[in-house]
Structure 1
Amino acid sequence: MSVNREVHPVELVDDAGRSIGTCSVAEAHTLPGRHHRAYSVLLLGPDGVLLQRRAGVKTRFPLRWSNTTCGHPAPGGDLPDEAATRLAEEMGLTGIPLREVGEFDYRAEDAATNRVEDEHDHVLVGVVDTAPAPTPDPSEVAEWRWVPLAELRADLAARPDEYTPWLGGVLRLAAQAAADTH
């Protein structure tokens, strides 16, 4: 069953990532936009990274390839728990420990939908020994694939409009975290 996430509250933040209020998802993404907290999850496995192609009904950057899942924590919510819940809802994957590896800010306007992303994005990574096959919610995800990191980086550089504008920042933090653990 599809849920209207546009009415959910998001946490507005200042330039340092400190909470300064709330508004709805829809309001935060309506031009000129409101700077708010978000999270991006990336799963790393033996076959590379798990990407999803966003469903065509998405209000921002539909049909673009992106990280495994993303969303907005409820104001005052527990970030890792909410990210794990969203991973289960969107991709049908459970029991994968996630750890936060960093944060970054970005702003990107989507001319196709006349919406904007203005986010303070927390990046969470999950590492798996075997590449699970997701069972995604079709209202959220059009398709998915595991991609070797080097191949993804090359394709992202060659065809950036095929990907969400935040994916580069997510990959940078995830790759740095992976390198730091080896």
Structure 2
Amino acid sequence: MSEQRVTTDELIVLLDAEGRAAGTAPKAPSHHESTPLHLAFSCYLTDDAGRVLITQRAHGKASFPSVWTNSCCGHPAPGESLREAVSRRVATELGLRAEALTLVLPEFRYRATAASGLVENELCPVVRAAAAGELRPHPEEVATAEWRDWDACVKLADHPSASPWFRSQMEWLAPLGAPATWPAAPPELLPPAITW
């Protein structure tokens, strides 16, 4: 697989309060102290042993640098399905293929403020996928990536180095047990701005 290029001119999908598309905007300038509600996703990649890929965000990231979090996060492009967005970002950030995608938390939403004052404000469906291929983290996106068993993932949620969205998602995911047991959620529960 050829190395994926990290683009700096991505567009994000802006949302109204009901999760309907309300326009687009450039990603980087839209994240500030008053970031508008927009569409995102979080992905948890698993391996054949049932472990989860946990990543540390690159130290130079504008948004929440150096925090430990789930495998991959991103923003669906305008007109892109959730599965397409997950596959694209997993390849770009980690050099992996995302297979057997399962929608887990279609309605997850959070708002968090970084130490810099930058705000994340996202409707952020959560997806589980099986990882395939060779792990090759992109240095502009990922500082470190580690396969961890589920108990270690649950413990990470209590650590101050964990991202705020990871901690919030784990309030929902930890009671479901190991990722292999997570039930599939109906795509109809996704925000209207995105298709499965």
Same fold, TM exceeding 0.5? Answer: yes
Q: How many residues align?
A: 176
Report if aligned partners of 1:123, 1:174 keep a CA contact under 8 Å in 2.
no
3-state SS of the aligned residue for 1:169?
helix
Distance change in 2, residues 1:125/1:109 (3 Å) = same
2:164 corresponds to which residue? 165
For the aligned residues, what is the CA RMSD? Answer: 2.4
2:147 corresponds to which residue? 146
Report if aligned partners of 1:54, 1:140 keep a CA contact under 8 Å in 2.
yes
3-state SS of the aligned residue for 2:99?
coil
Distance change in 2, residues 1:144/1:166 (3 Å) = same
1:108 corresponds to which residue? 112
Q: Of residues 56, 59, 62 in structure 1, which corresponds to 2:59?
A: 56
Deviations 1:55-78 (A, max 9, x none): 111111111111111110012212
> TM-score, with normalisation over the residues of structure 1?
0.85
3-state SS of the aligned residue for 2:87?
helix
Note if 1:120 corresponds to 2:106. no
Separation in 2 of the partners of 1:95 and 1:167?
19
1:99 corresponds to which residue? 102
Read off the aligned partner of 1:71 and give its amino acid letter: G
Q: Of residues 15, 21, 24 in structure 2, which corresponds to 1:22?
A: 24
Separation in 2 of the partners of 1:174 and 1:44?
14
2:156 corresponds to which residue? 155
Deviations 1:77-125 (A, max 9, x none): 12101211110111011252322222311000112x3311000001111
Q: Which runs of 5+ in 2 are unaligned?
A: 184-196
> TM-score, with normalisation over the residues of structure 2?
0.79
Identity of aligned residues (%): 33
Q: Which runs of 5+ in 1 are unaligned?
A: none
Separation in 2 of the partners of 1:52 and 1:146?
9
Offset, 1:167: 0.7
1:137 corresponds to which residue? 138
Deviations 1:14-60 (A, max 9, x none): 22211111112123311111000001110123252111111111111
